[in-house]
Structure 1
């Protein structure tokens, strides 16, 4: 009898101790309410990602039309491509080259007329078209005047070629922009800048050829 009582007592104590052992597995996986609230807030309001601006092809945009517009009127193709900022640059370049051409044509005609008078050994009469020019050129030698004629002819030709070149460049630029809009994707990593500029020329005849030549600077940027 005592033996059975002792066994029953031991079994009762074992089950009691086992029942009192804490189950920490559930508590270890629990998240504090403050942290859980932050997680829920981040899921509900995620941080927006920056989007790269992409231009998709426009099949209705005609490269041929852009070229024809620029052929007829400078800058019209750029306006057709919605590149409005290029139009003032184009007209600035053409305007400077046109002014340089007219200036050098007049300069060439004046120097040529004075040189012809000196070769003939006569002077123009008062009231003649180049009378005052002949008087103004008297301090200069015939060699200096001939050098001035050569410089004016060179600058005149370069101005004419530059004018035609700018016209052709703006046609090519209009075609490229239209082609990209028509057939390719573009992003903001490619840019082109066109700026007018001035180039100093060497001095060949004193103050006669101390002139400048208009130029055009084109810069492509890849970021």
Structure 2
């Protein structure tokens, strides 16, 4: 009898202990699985995926390769006629720049050659100790140079000769530069994608000479300025 009472007592205690425990359930307010309102809002915010920022790109001109554009044809044309290769490359704005620079160099050559010839004639008169007769070609110039000594006239002759030769070299260099420019532009169009971050600019300019090489022609001489821009 006592054994049965003990068994009933143990079963009753076990039942009470089972009811005393909180079941793990979302519907139970005390359950650890019960989500609060703040947790739900946080999960909702975290679930929203932010879109990556992509800047809008506009106004950039892209040059795509053109296999039909011939670099050989471009530089061959510029070799024979300055600016013809630039026209072939549709770089029309470069044509007046090229001809302006070449024209200035021709003017520079003719001026220095004329001055060199005149001063050389006066220097030869001084060297021989004679003078031109009235009515001769260099008579007026000889009279105008009476205030200059022989050394000054000889320096002027050498200066004009130097600038004359320099103008020839610059003319040849300008011709070569415009040929190379035509080839490079054509090569980019033929083989590469090139945007407006790269450009080549050729403009006429004045070069300031050093004091020890200046002469009657002035302190500045014309030249060409080539600018490569990479932004």
Aligned partner of residue 69 in structure 1, secondary structure: helix
Equivalent residue of 1:134, what SS? helix
May I ask how many residue pairs the two structures share in their alignment?
Answer: 215
Deviation sequence 1:125-175 (CA, Å, 0-9, x none): 32x221211111111111100000110110100011001100000000000
**Structure 1, gaps ≥5 residues long:** 1-24, 29-46
CA distance, structure 2, for counterparts of residue 138 and residue 81 of structure 1:
56
Aligned counterparts of 1:85 and 1:96: Cα–Cα separation in 2: 18
Alpha-carbon spacing, 1:74–1:57, altered in 2? closer, same or farther (3 Å): same
Give, in angstroms, the shift of residue 213 of structure 1: 1.5
1:59 pairs with one of 67, 80, 85: 67
Output the CA distance in 1 between the equivalents of 2:187 and 2:102: 24
Distance 1:176 1:207, change over 3 A: closer
Determine the C-alpha separation between the residues in 2 that align with 1:63 and 1:154: 36
Structure 1 position 48, deviation (Å): 9.6
- Kindly tell me: are residues 207 and 64 of structure 1, through their superposed partners in 2, closer, same or farther at Cα, counting changes over 3 Å? closer
Q: With the length of structure 1 as denominator, give the TM-score of the two structures.
A: 0.74
Please name the residue that 1:157 is paired with.
Answer: 165
- Higher Cα Rg: structure 1 or 2? 2
Deviation at 1:209, TM superposition (A): 4.6
Q: What TM-score, normalized to structure 2?
A: 0.72
- 3-state SS in 2 of match to 1:216: strand
**Equivalent in the alignment of 2:209:** 200
Distance in 2, Cα, partners of 1:116 & 1:216: 35
Cα-to-partner distance string for 1:166-208 (whole Å, 9 max, x where unaligned): 000000000000011011111121112222333335356x862
Q: In structure 2, the residue corresponding to 1:171 is in which secondary structure?
A: helix
Alignment CA distance shift 1:211-1:115 (3 Å) = same
Distance change >3 Å, CA 201–CA 75, structure 1 → 2 = farther
